[in-house]
Amino acid sequence: MWGGLGLALVLCLLPGGGTESQGSSARCKEPPEWQIEESSPMQNSRGSVTVVALLQCLHFICDAWSDSSFYELEDLRVKLENEGLVNISYMVVNHQGIHSQLKIHTLKEKVSENIIVYQQDENQTDVWTTLNGNKDDFLIYDRCGRLVYHLGLPYSFLTFPYVEDSIKIAYCEYKCGNCSYMVLS
């Protein structure tokens, strides 16, 4: 019990209640419109809690990095599903740089089909900039597409409980008020 209370306190003490990368004004608001090619991932995930990971594969350490981060994300997805938290959309937005683009196939091989990996084109508006995000940030949205948490380092390390607990809060609580997509239990 005390561990959960401590975690809740830590999340509340983060600037913006966990939205430290964007400032408190972004909390409980829909994200700016963004696309990857012709797809609008946030529109497509309406009705689901959505986890957006901003990850970058550096060309000289890609394999070690992706083994750790992607396998941990897949493990977290499976753990939450086994706990009954279903209908969660997981997506990774790979960095826009050319070195990251060259490693997209390696990254896609590291995760199941349940985690979508998006690759930005060099010529499009940078999604990371649009979301005011940085490498290794996790953005957690409720079923209505409103930002519940924006976690940056060190809170976004998947070995810590912050990302998992933020997903559970977005899934189980009404941090941003009522949502027409809420599932009645």
* pLDDT at site 98: 85
* pLDDT at site 8: 45
Find the CATH number of the domain harbouring 88. 3.40.30.10
Outline where DSSP puts E strands in 42-146: 49-55, 88-94, 115-119, 137-141
Instruction: Check: pTM over 0.85? Answer yes or no.
Output: no
Outline where DSSP puts E strands in the chain: 49-55, 88-94, 115-119, 137-141, 147-151
Within a domain: residue 164? yes
Range of the domain at 108: 2-172
* pLDDT at site 161: 97
Within a domain: residue 182? no
Check the CA dihedral 112-143-41-54 and report its sign: negative
Q: 132 forms bridges with which residues in the sheet? A: none
How many CB atoms sit inside 10 A of residue 139's CB?
Answer: 28
Burial environment of residue 148 by CB neighbours within 10 A (0 to 12, 13 to 18, 19 or more): buried
The total number of structural domains that make up the chain: 1
Q: From first to last of its 185 residues, what are the pLDDT tens digits of the chain?
A: 445 534 443 444 344 444 444 455 688 998 899 999 889 999 999 999 999 999 887 655 554 544 567 789 999 999 999 999 999 999 999 999 888 888 888 778 778 899 999 999 888 999 999 999 999 999 999 999 999 999 999 999 999 999 999 999 999 998 998 887 655 54
